[in-house]
Amino acid sequence: MSESRSAPVSDLPRAWPFEEARKLADHVGVRSTANGEDDARPALLETGYGPSGLPHIGTFGEVARTSWVRQAYTALTGRPSRLLAFSDDMDALRKVPDNVPQRDMLEKYIGQPLSRVPDPFGTHESFAAHNNARLCAFLDSFGFEYEFASSTQYYTSGRFDAALRRVLEVHDEILKVILPTLGADRRATYSPVLPLHPRTGEVMQVKMDAIDAAAGTVRWTDPSNGEVFETPVTGGHAKMQWKADWAMRWYALGVDYEMSGKDLIDSVRLSGRICKILGGTPPAGLTYELFLDEKGQKISKSKGNGLSVEEWLRYAPPESLGQFMFNQPQRAKRLYFDVIPKTADEYLTHVDKAKVLQAENSKGNDLRANPAWFIHKGHIPEDAGSPVPFSMLLNLASVANAETPEVLWGFIRRYDAAVSPETHPMLACLVKHAVAYYADFVRPAKTFRAPTEQERAALSDLAECLRGYEGEAADAATLQNLVFEVGKRHAFEPLRSWFTCLYEVLLGQKEGPRFGGFVALYGVAETVALIDTALLRETQV
């Protein structure tokens, strides 16, 4: 077996990219020793992109997750790899997107390859070129390492010619796989080959009258006028239907790994069968779950019921989006605004743990199982992380009614004079995001309630205890213990109901931070004033 054979499962870091890397290593090991010959090609990982629209949050997720598998594969085997970001820009324009200019102009090009459709934005030679450029800029902005590939370029340059000829040789076998999955009308016209009309350039979905594998051509009839054409499948004169196209690409390029969404399970299975018919081995891969909106419905680009990358990055740093994508890819997750604060703090927690392991020069698997190790490409920068959690900043913004970052920095500097935007750039980033998130989500939802008799007594007690610390330097742990003692003294059962009181009565929200840490950051005198204001409300019956 080749040196790419993976480590035993028990030796792997407990992180899903390493489990996927083991599958990839096994696949490469089989491929590299096939036919008794050593194939030393780098492992090829692929992601696909349909350039009829702009890059979206799913694009980020697939490239990020595949990149982490690649990172784990390198750590596991020491062998080289490549990541190919493949654009299906020879696909036909099926409908005009809602979010583009010159929609009437685009209507005239329905059925044309995207790479032949004019750019409605007027910045590139084609609609596909515009969206491909946006894809590359999008991926570059996150620092992904990849190679861009254009379907049009691969078809027209002859890169797929040998594989396309092979498709003709096994044309009937491919039909036997695909036809049972189609309705009666579609079966009547289906062929894995889609010739381009020599006059109109349209991608034709028509039945093949004859297949000439030796000549590398197909014969077909134009349904609009009965004219018969003989079209070579090579040189960009034809392309494949997408399931056959996927299989042909795996076969032609020797793709070793490609992940895909749960909605493509059947397509992966069919393309895998076609790949084997062609004489190739389907790649290893991961089936990831789809994202859900705030109502638990599947996110749809056409419905616009999800959260965009731009929206996420308005409220939290890109590392937090990486954390969201890293978490349990095979489990459906809500992708909505309310997940952002928790995910941001989860990322910060992992950074703190990873820094400790990195400082200790940990040789075990703990560091490599940490999501921050993947998000930061194997090395955690010294200035990563934040001394103040994102949720704490949100609560500080809430009680201070912060409309600018400077308001929050006033409290932060008083809490720790050594902290500044220059010394803690991630904190500076979080402060800006917290102000934006507070303005858009926290402030509109704030609802204060009056305390009950029990809560009123406990709050008065807490205020009196806190006055004893005014003018002194009290740390968060001491203040947290004080809050606990007051809650116990007033017999809250369960004790968490005391903290619910603090959040709802003092902060106007259902959840909140460790209250001792909040007091230390906001200030003892300011917290006492907050309690005094709450006590002026009428007692809740």
Annotated binding residues for ATP: 301
With H, G, I as helix, E, B as strand and everything else as coil, classify residue 369: coil
For 438, the token pair is 């507070």
Dihedral sign computed on CA atoms, order 16, 18, 20, 22: negative
For 129, the token pair is 């070129």
Relative to beta strand 193-195, strand 208-212 is unpaired
With H, G, I as helix, E, B as strand and everything else as coil, classify residue 15: coil
For 348, the token pair is 């910060």
Cα–Cα dist 352/347, whole Å: 9
Pick from 293, 319, 297: which is nearest to 308 by CA? 293
Binding-site residues from annotation: 301
Cα–Cα dist 502/519, whole Å: 12
Cα–Cα dist 358/378, whole Å: 10
Pick from 219, 65, 201: which is nearest to 146 by CA? 65
Task: Determine contact, residues 491/441, Cβ cutoff 8 Å.
Answer: no
Cα–Cα dist 309/526, whole Å: 37
Pick from 80, 7, 91, 63: which is nearest to 258 by CA? 63
State the DSSP code for 203. Answer: B
Pick from 119, 116, 138: which is nearest to 57 by CA? 138
Distances from the Cα of 411 to the Cα of 474, 506, 518, angstroms: 15, 18, 11
Q: Which amino acid is at 475?
A: D
For 133, the token pair is 């450029």
Q: Which amino acid is at 222?
A: D
Task: Determine contact, residues 142/318, Cβ cutoff 8 Å.
Answer: yes
Relative to beta strand 81-87, strand 43-49 is parallel
DSSP for 392-428 reads: HHHHHHHHHT--SHHHHHHHHHHH-TT--TTT-HHHH
